[in-house]
Homo-oligomer: A and B are copies of this chain.
Amino acid sequence: MARILKDPGVGYKSNRNAQRVIVEGQSNVKHINRPRTIDDLYTYLITISWPLFFGYVLCGYILINLLFAFIYFFIGIDEFRNSSGNIWEDFSTLFFFSAQTITTVGYGAIAPEGVLAGVLSSFEALIGLMSFSFITGLLYGRFSKPKAKIKFSKEILVREFEGERALMFRVMNSRTNLMIEPELNAVINITEKDVNGEFSRQFYQLNLETNKIMYLPTMWTLVHKINEDSPLYKFSDEELKELEVEIYILFKYHEEAFNQHLYQLHSYDFNQLKIGYKFAASYTFDEHGHTLINHDDLNKIIKM
């Protein structure tokens, strides 16, 4: 019989319009009274888009130079050079001096002369070096942190297979590298109204024909046979479509170019279930015998 899971980490209680707990591989849980930490900041800066990241850097650069320009202006331009007499020109000069200091360019056409200017500009240079150290780390962290690049088929199928009914979906390696030792685990979650009229979730391990392979150059079709051991066995095809079912998937593999183990989460909803279809062939050969994989074919299904 299908193995019922105790405490799968999601909880058993549900309600009528309960949303999925995982959406697009991300947690869909709302947190209350959560204290923020420095790790949240790192996570944020690592995961935002590149334009936003560079936007922050540019704004930060302008703001810190404005700040120091104000401070320098406040202590007086005489600490740096003779005033031009024009307040805007003096301010812009100090702004550029700040930029030249924080980037450590230091042309020297304008340079600190007074003690206060010396102290402040020494401090600004230190801040500059520290900030750019930090950005160096972030840039590399962003660039060297790979995203797991497995693509899941949009549809999940129920079809006849080797004389039995089977549930199938497939995954594609969307990179040109091999994925090494890919492994996939799945949990099936069936929500039913219990005797008290309350909605409760039941979780089962989803048995797959194969769940770990040596490497994945192309596509891989995952097969769950709906036999006596399956929690779906008692339902007809029609009932399956009505059933409130979610499948939570954890995919892991070793990414060679980054030399890291990567994890990717995915979930399917039985709303997406197609009955009586099969997947189109996952690869073809060209005239020289090379295996061809067409990324647009991942979601191609054929009426059986």
A residues touching B (Cβ–Cβ < 8 Å)?
5-11, 13, 15-19, 21-22, 26-35, 37-40, 42-43, 46-47, 50, 54, 57-58, 61, 65, 89, 92-93, 95-96, 99-101, 103-109, 111-113, 115, 118-119, 121-122, 125-126, 128-130, 132-141, 143-147, 149, 174-178, 180-182, 185, 187, 209-210, 213-221, 223, 248, 250, 254, 256-263, 265, 281-283, 285-286, 288-296
Select A285's contact among B18, B89, B295, beta carbons within 8 Å: B18
Contacts of A28 in B (CB 8 A): 217, 290-291
Besides A13-B283, A47-B257, A140-B140, 12 other A-B contacts (C-beta < 8 A): A5-B210, A11-B291, A15-B285, A32-B296, A33-B294, A37-B147, A42-B144, A99-B121, A100-B122, A100-B125, A187-B214, A259-B261
Contact indicator B92/A101 (Cβ below 8 Å) = no
Contact indicator A263/B137 (Cβ below 8 Å) = no
Please name 26 pairs of A and B residues whose Cβ atoms are closer than 8 Å in the assembled complex, sorted by A: A7-B223, A9-B213, A9-B216, A10-B217, A11-B291, A18-B289, A19-B291, A21-B218, A26-B178, A38-B50, A39-B149, A42-B144, A95-B118, A99-B122, A100-B122, A104-B106, A105-B105, A105-B106, A106-B106, A106-B107, A107-B112, A109-B113, A130-B135, A178-B265, A214-B248, A214-B250
Nearest 7 interchain pairs by C-beta: A137-B140, A109-B111, A133-B136, A99-B122, A108-B108, A107-B108, A105-B106
Q: How far is the CB of A86 from chain B (nearest CB, A)?
A: 11
Contact indicator A174/B214 (Cβ below 8 Å) = no
Query: How many copies are assembled?
Result: 4
Contacts of A265 in B (CB 8 A): 178, 180, 215
Select A108's contact among B18, B106, B217, B221, beta carbons within 8 Å: B106
Contact indicator B30/A286 (Cβ below 8 Å) = yes
CA distance A289 to B17 in the complex (A): 5
Contact indicator B30/A293 (Cβ below 8 Å) = yes
Contact indicator B106/A31 (Cβ below 8 Å) = no
Contacts of A282 in B (CB 8 A): 11
Contact indicator A129/B103 (Cβ below 8 Å) = yes
Contact indicator B32/A294 (Cβ below 8 Å) = yes
Select A6's contact among B22, B209, B288, beta carbons within 8 Å: B209
Contact indicator A143/B134 (Cβ below 8 Å) = yes
CA distance A250 to B256 in the complex (A): 12
